[in-house]
Structure 1
Amino acid sequence: MFVSRITDQIKAELKAKNAVLVAHYYVSAELQTLAEESGGIVSDSLEMARFGQNCSADTIVVAGVKFMGETAKILSPEKTVLVLDEGATCSLDEDCPIANFSKFCDEHPDRTVVVYANTSAEVKARADWVVTSGSALKVVQHLKSQGKKILWAPDKHLGNYVQSETGADMLLWQGSCVVHERFKADALVNLKKHHPEAGVLVHPESPQSVVDLADVVGSTTALINAVRDRDEQTFIVATDNGIFHKMREVAPNKTLIEAPTAGQGADCESCAHCEWMAMNTLDNCLSTLKTAGNEIKIDPLVNQKAQNSIQKLLDFTA
């Protein structure tokens, strides 16, 4: 009953303020459902931003983490962009501060700078290209075909995967996602023995030893589509467990098992959920709408440079 009351209030606030709620696959099921019921979207970070850009709302409310709010603002600088909790960040973003990254770029001026979407607006502005996990392979293959050497940031695991698949000359920044880094290959091997019929779905932010065990390696969207389209009835999933909500929607009769994070240094058998994504709640969604708090603001020059880097990707994948 309480959930129903608060979602009704949020819907009313969204309508009154001509606002749209966009949610990432990793936030709570309640927020994902609310986004879709109120005319918003559940998707990956770039599609969240593109939806906000193309809709008629004056305000974009982002259920995700800070860099997602910044990406929405980069594509819609004229709109108001709010995040649910200004403290919700990302280890990849935090591990790639602009001062250190700029110095790294300056030390390698011969390289084309390609950064993953999970970065700050300032890092995107310093880059030549912004890519997603779903587009990284194609973009890097394209750049390789032009004879380009690449400076990649921030995720070393995704960068290693792209490098191994394309053979490109890549210099990797050494960041990682605290969620995907936890997956353990030895424990996954043991789990596969108990479920030999299961397909293994892995996000490429995971360590190479885990990627090597996958039947499908791909972005959040690709993994959801794999659950829907593949013949297996059981899947072991190595990404944030928030994705299970959408997977169950598209394939309600299939069995989903969380990939193990158990192993040396682990404090639970399978605990793959981002603590910052968990900071997004119905309560702070309502509060943010009522107060117009947690607004994302970006220097206009930074915004324009970052938009140029993203636009290269949008034009390339059009």
Structure 2
Amino acid sequence: MTSVDTTIQRIRLTGKPSSSDALCTTDLVESPWNFDAVPGYGPGSSMSDVIPTGAPRQGVLPEEYRTASADELDRRIRHAKGVLGDRLVILGHHYQRDEIIRYADFVGDSFQLANAAQTVPSAEAIVFCGVHFMAETADILAQTGQSVILPNLAAGCSMADMADIDSVASAWAELERIYGTEPDAQGRQPIVPVTYMNSSAALKGFCGQHGGIVCTSSNAQTVLEWAFERGQRVLFFPDQHLGRNTAKAMGITPEQMPLWNPHKPLGGNTEQQLVDARVLLWHGFCSVHKRFTTDQIDRARIDHPGVRVIVHPECPMPVVDAADEAGSTDYILTAVAAATEPTTFAIGTEINMVSRLAAEYPQHTIFCLDPVICPCSTMYRIHPGYLAWVLEALVRGEVLNQITVEPGVASTAKIALERMLAARPAG
């Protein structure tokens, strides 16, 4: 199976998609540096999301990298890796294009990669081929003297940007006014903050300061159980869908999970709704996983009788309910790898990962629920041209695009991350 990037470039060369291919935007055929000076996340799943003021932007990529052929970039990247040796580790997120993954020393989800970097203490430079919040987490967990580099500073995350520290602090102040700050008879606080890994270091630090914790899509239920042992309620941000799907599986009703819209008084709720709440869900979402629908699942079942539908828990609740299974990227990978008989899988997660699974497991029929090619906009900002640029700079002794978390924020964020590490799912 050809890579997603190759498919998109074939469309560019032919001027039209094949009968089985369609793009969410024709801008995908353009190189990412064409959008570095344009406000927004770039073409792809989050292209319509409003980028916050002050979000990092990437400067102009030198012409030699913009005009280099794929073969030349491959030669230069491999040469730089060879020169740097053990002083370098490259991390590649599952949602990166194949043309980047081929150079990664470790491939995984955001937290797996942050942990993987810690297994290479000799690495002076950690090049994180992912998005901004991931590089921040790697910097928080990195050792003294290690530099974390994001090849393209415009590789942010629209979901992470939907919850900023000022908005969360303001919401917290309103909630403390309603709930008070005194623990109940069991010693539980009125509310405990829980942030998803897909959030800024500042929000992880906020949780560390306020008795809260970080969660991943793999341990979200364990983390909520941890939070309910310590609090009467949970403020869950920034992804409403992961919070809702996890809490529902724990027996919490939709009425007990009001949505908090930071642009409305009381988040758009009445005081009584907030008093009755068990989980307050931030008005955030992943633009990739929001694209999946129950109609797509219905179509997959019609076209492929006996299909096994697996979706990510960042998908809307009706989609998770209609699927056969829901789980993290690691869950999806494990499920496909463990299938002993040829199986048809319809998978609801980012297209690059699904395409890669289809290539790695040809004994199965594996396809993305969404028939439209619409990769994660911000992951797609990482291109071999940017990787070659930062690696060749390292060879010259220059550190470009370094991501650094302020020490005060890093220390409290690390507290919340350590709590997460201790919250291991049973079994």
TM-score > 0.5, shorter chain as reference: yes
Letter in 1 for 2:113: M
Report the secondary structure of 2:175's partner residue. coil
Q: Percent identity?
A: 30
- Most deviating of 196-205 and 179-188: 179-188
Residue 126 of structure 1 corresponds to 206
Alignment-derived partner of residue 304 in structure 2: 195
Q: 1:149 corresponds to which residue? A: 233
Partner of 1:182: 291
Runs (4 or more) in structure 1 with deviation over 3 Å come to: 1-5, 14-17, 145-148
Task: Report whether the alignment pairs 1:68 with 2:170.
Answer: no
Alignment match, 1:167: 251
2-structure distance, mates of 1:285, 1:212: 40
The one-letter amino acid paired with 2:111 is: L
1:44 to 109, 122, 130: 109
CA RMSD between the two structures: 2.0
**1:270-281 matched pairs, under 5 angstroms:** 270-281=372-383
**How far off is 1:15 after superposition?**
4.3
Q: Larger deviation: 118-127 or 188-197?
A: 188-197
Task: Tell which deviates more after alignment, 248-257 or 63-72.
Answer: 248-257
For 1:300 and 1:48, how far apart are their aligned partners in 2? 21
Which stretch shifts more, 301-310 or 181-190? Answer: 181-190
The reply on whether 1:107 has 2:174 as its aligned counterpart is: yes
Amino acid at match of 1:281: H
> Deviation of residue 193 (structure 1)?
1.0
Give the structure 2 partner of residue 265 of structure 1.
Answer: none
8 Å contact 1:202–1:211 — kept in the other structure? yes
CA contact (8 A) 1:202 1:214 kept: yes
Equivalent position amino acid for 2:380 in 1: A
- Secondary structure at 1:143's aligned position in 2? helix
Distance in 2 (alpha carbons) for counterparts of 1:232 and 1:174: 40
**Kept in 2: contact 1:53–1:75 (CA 8 A):** yes
- 1:205 lines up with 2:322 in the alignment: no
Code of the aligned partner of 1:43:
G
The residue aligned with 1:23 is 92
Give TM-score scaled by structure 2 length. Answer: 0.68
Task: Name the stretch that deviates more: 142-151 or 294-303.
Answer: 142-151
Contact 1:137 1:162 in 2 (8 A): yes
Aligned to 1:301: 408
Partner of 1:266: none
SS in 2 for 1:34: coil
Q: CA deviation at 1:226?
A: 0.9
Question: Which residue matches 1:285?
Answer: 387
**What is the CA distance between 1:107 and its match in structure 2?**
2.6
Shift of the alpha carbon at 1:145? 4.5
- Equivalent of 1:93 in 147, 156, 160: 160
Shift of 1:14: 3.2
- Displacement of 1:58: 1.1
**Quick check: 1:93–1:120 contact (8 Å CA) kept in 2?**
yes
Q: Which residue of 1 aligns with 2:343?
A: 233
Residues 239 and 281 (structure 1), Cα distance of their counterparts in 2 relative to 1, 3 Å cut: same
Alpha-carbon distance in structure 1 between the residues aligned to 2:230 and 2:330: 28
Deviation at 1:4, TM superposition (A): 5.1
Distance 1:305 1:196, change over 3 A: same
Structure with the greater alpha carbon radius of gyration: 2
Q: Aligned partners of 1:245 and 1:308: how far apart in 2?
A: 37
Q: Which blocks of at least 5 consecutive residues in structure 1 are unaligned?
A: 261-268
Deviations 1:253-304 (A, max 9, x none): 11111113xxxxxxxx423410111111111101012232111011100011
CA shift digits 1:157-200 (9 cap, x unpaired): 11110110113521111100111111121232122111122100
Q: Deviations over 1:128-152 (max 9, x none)?
A: 2111101101211233345542110
The letter of the residue matching 1:155 is D
**Normalising by structure 1, what TM-score?**
0.90
Q: Which residue of 2 aligns with 1:263?
A: none
Shift of 1:212: 1.1
Give the Cα–Cα distance (whole angstroms) in 1 for the partners of residues 151 and 286 of structure 2.
21
The answer to whether the 8 A contact 1:63-1:84 is kept is: yes
Counterpart among 72, 80, 84 of residue 151 in structure 2: 84
Q: Structure 1 residue 158 and structure 2 residue 242: aligned?
A: yes
Note the C-alpha offset of 1:54: 2.2
- The Cα of 1:104 is off from its aligned counterpart by 1.4
Aligned equivalents of 2:317, 2:300: Cα separation in 1: 18
Q: The residue matched to 1:257 in structure 2 has which SS? A: strand
Ranges in structure 2 where 5+ consecutive residues have no aligned partner? 1-67, 177-189, 253-277, 394-398
Provide, for residues 235-261 of structure 1, a one-character-per-residue CA deviation record: whole Å limited to 9, x for no partner: 11111011125424652311111113x
